[in-house]
Amino acid sequence: MFIIKSTLYKLNKINRSLAGGILAAMGIISGITPEISVQPHFLNWENAVYAQNFTPEEVYNYARAGFEVEVLRQQVYQEIKSMVNQPPPEITCDRPETMNDIPENVRGIANNYCNRSRQIVQENNLSIQRFNQLKNNYDSEGSFYQQVQQKLLDLQN
């Protein structure tokens, strides 16, 4: 009896591992990974696997767009900070609900920032979606990050 239970336990363990491996592979191939919320009973699916491929042109375009958006962000941050006499809350342009946390007297500035940021990205031949994918690659500080840093140094010279 002990041998049978032990064997069944090992088979269940193998089956669970195999099923987990198959699900993980399917997620990577399809670009979908689960996001588990802190709140109970919720499982959200998002496209969280980002393309690891990028061209030299995208490195150049991202470096230019990212630099211009960052300069604009710093200007807007200082402007809002001086108007509300405190650090402004986070502005996330692809999440309109973050505008609710901004005092009404500076929402126009925040909206202009978002509109101008989109324009900068598009002027540098990137879609907003691709820019965000590249930003996630950049934030992981891998080879894309290193290439962008080098391109930024090249652009300064």
Q: How many domains does one find in the chain?
A: 2
Contacts of 33 (CB under 8 A, 6+ apart): 27, 45, 46, 48, 49
User: Is there a single domain that holds both residue 34 and residue 66?
Assistant: no
pLDDT value of residue 89: 82
pLDDT of the residue at 15: 46
Same domain? For 15 and 63 the reply is no
Do 62 and 30 have their domain in common? Answer: no
Q: State the pTM of this model.
A: 0.64
Query: Residue 74's domain spans which residues?
Result: 56-156
- H/E stretch holding 107 reads helix 104-123
Are 75 and 138 contained in the same domain?
yes
d(CA 25, CA 46): 16
Q: Does 51 fall in a domain?
A: no
**CA-wise closest residue to 107 among 140, 133, 83, 74:** 83
pLDDT given for residue 121 in this prediction: 97
62 and 137 fall within a common domain? yes
Is residue 94 within 8 Å of 132, Cβ to Cβ?
A: yes
Cβ-contact 62, 152 below 8 angstroms: no
Question: Does one domain contain both 148 and 99?
Answer: yes
Could you tell me the mean pLDDT of each successive run of 10 residues in the chain, 157 residues long?
A: 45 47 40 36 40 86 96 94 86 86 89 96 97 94 94 89
